[in-house]
Amino acid sequence: MMEWTDRHCRFFHRLLTRRALLYTEMLTTGAVLHGDRERLLHFNAFEQPVALQLGGSEPAALAQSARIGADFGYAEINLNVGCPSDRVQEGRFGACLMKEPALVADCVAAMKSAVKIPVTVKCRLGVDEQDPEQSLFDLAARVKAAGADALIVHARKAWLKGLSPRENREVPPLDYAIVARLKSAHSGFEIILNGGIGTIEQARETLKTFDGVMMGRAAYQEPWRLLAVDPEIFGDAAPFAGAKEACLAFLPYIERELAQGVRLHSMTRHLLGIFRAVPGARAFRRHLSVHAVKPDAGAHVLLDALSHVSDAPAVLDSGGERPHIAA
C-alpha cells in the first residue's frame, strides 16, 4: 500500500471504522533512522489503533526503528516480508526474505527485545519455486519461536522475476487452504488472512477460520465498505449513516491541513472511490479530479463535489455488494 495509506488516508478511514486496525505505508529502516522522522512517522491520535510497517533486514536497525515507532505511539510494529518490488529486493527486504527465514526470526527477536507493543510479520506463501508447504510453515515456526505476536499471510506466492508488483497481487493463484492448514498446525498462534478479500461478508466468513482478516485494495478503492466493519464485525454502531456524512466530517481535518500548507489533492485523492456506483459518483470524481489539483484549491471543492451525490444513507445489500440508496 505504498503511496496509498498515508496519514490523510488513515484519518479518513478512521472516520469510517473506529475498530479496525490501520497500517502505515511500508517505511524502510534507512528512512526511519536517517530521514525526516516527524514527516514520515507523525500521525494524528485519532487514527489509533495504527500499526507501523517496516522494511528491513538488519536486526539492529529494525530494533532501533521499532523503538522509535513505539516512542511515536504506534500500537504495533509490522515487518514486511511480502513486498515483491525490484527496489525492495535490491534493499534485501520484503518478499525476498522468504528465502532467509532464520534472518527474519532474528529480526523479530531483536524487535521484540526493543519494544513492549506487539510485533507482527506479513509474508507470502513463498517466492519463485519454493514449496509453500515448506517455506510458509518454516517461516511461521521460526517467527513464532522468536516471539512474533501474529503472522499475516498474503495467500499468494510472489514471483521475484517476471511479474510486476501489480501482477504479483493478481496473477499467482490464491491458496486459502494452505493458510488454513497452517492455522490448524498452530492453533495458539494468531494467523491473519490477506489477499482477495473484497467484501465484509467475505471477511466475516474468513473469521470463522482465522484470527483476523486484512483488507487492502478493496478498502482503499471502495472505502464505503468500511462503514460496515463496526456493525458487521464488531457489533458496534457505524460511525456515520452514510458516506456523504463521513465526507462532511472530513472537512475540519482538510481545513486544518490546508492551513499547514498541505495540498487539497493530497487528501481528496483518497476519497475517489467512496461513492462508487452511487448516482452522481462519476460527477463527484470528475469534480475532484479537475479542481482539487489546482494550487489554490480549498475545502469548498469537496463541498461542491458532494453536491453531485445523494444525501440518502447507504445500506449494504445481503451480498455485501455496493449498497442501494435507501428511500
Q: Which residues carry out catalysis?
A: 83
Q: How far is CA 195 from CA 160, 171, 226, in A?
A: 18, 12, 17
Cβ neighbours, 10 Å, residue 182: 23
**Left if phi > 0, otherwise alpha if psi is -120 to 50, otherwise beta: which for 17?**
beta
Q: What's the Cα-to-Cα distance from 38 to each of 9, 31, 44, 68, 69, rounded to whole Å?
A: 17, 11, 12, 11, 11
Q: List all residues 6 or more positions away from 171 whose beta carbon is below 8 Å from its beta carbon.
A: 159, 163
Given the DSSP bridges, would you call strands 314-315 and 324-325 parallel, antiparallel or unpaired?
A: antiparallel
